[in-house]
Homo-oligomer: A and B are copies of this chain.
Amino acid sequence: MSASDRLIESTRELLWERGYVGTSPRAIQQRAGAGQGSMYHHFSGKPDLALAAIGRTAEEMRAGVEEILGGPGTAVERVSAYLRREREVLRGCPIGRLTQDPEVMADPALRRPVEETFGWLRDRLAAVLAEGRDRGEFDACLDPARTAATVVAVLQGGYVLARAAGSPEPFHEAADGVLALLSRA
């Protein structure tokens, strides 16, 4: 693993744990076992490094989601698999947490991957739900786009509840709740 890669991985971890404002170049270097010279040789500064880290995380997330939503099963089964997928709930969502960071949202380059990831996710879920509705899994009046937004929101909000409670339980409760509503729709 090259120094550049180690720096990106360290940045990913720290952005996830502490956010952009709470992450210093110094901390990144120490976790990566690299010096300042190395970091500023490969990247122009903190924003540049963050961009590489966020891009990699967004890519990974899309691939992971696509593996489930593009897989076999009914719409309900796939949405259920997505919501119940194994997760380190208390760590939260590495992309979602960036929306709380004013400096990330103020920088168009850093903000774009966040916006695009959630846009893609909502569209992808809406397609699965529309497929299920057309196959008669749901009531014909179910609105795919709206319901997709609800499902993604339950996930993101579930992380918030779990962190507030200091326990993964509310996350799973919220997910089970929306699945119960969905399977009777």
Contact = CB atoms under 8 A, between A and B. Distances in A.
A143 to B, nearest CB: 7
Interface stretch (A28-36, A38-46, A156-164): A156-164
Contacts of A181: 147, 150, 178, 181-182, 185
Classify the secondary structure of A's interface with B: helix
Contact of A118 (B154, B165, B173): B165
Contacts of A119: 164-165
Contacts of A145: 173
Contact of A160 (B99, B147, B177): B99
A21 interface: yes
A142 B19 CA distance: 38
18 contacts: A22-B22, A115-B166, A118-B160, A118-B164, A118-B165, A118-B170, A119-B165, A139-B184, A145-B173, A147-B177, A147-B180, A148-B177, A149-B161, A149-B174, A153-B161, A154-B154, A157-B160, A178-B181
Given A118-B161, A178-B178, 19 more contacts: A19-B21, A22-B22, A92-B100, A105-B166, A111-B166, A114-B164, A118-B164, A145-B173, A149-B158, A149-B170, A150-B154, A151-B177, A153-B158, A154-B154, A156-B161, A157-B160, A181-B185, A184-B184, A184-B185
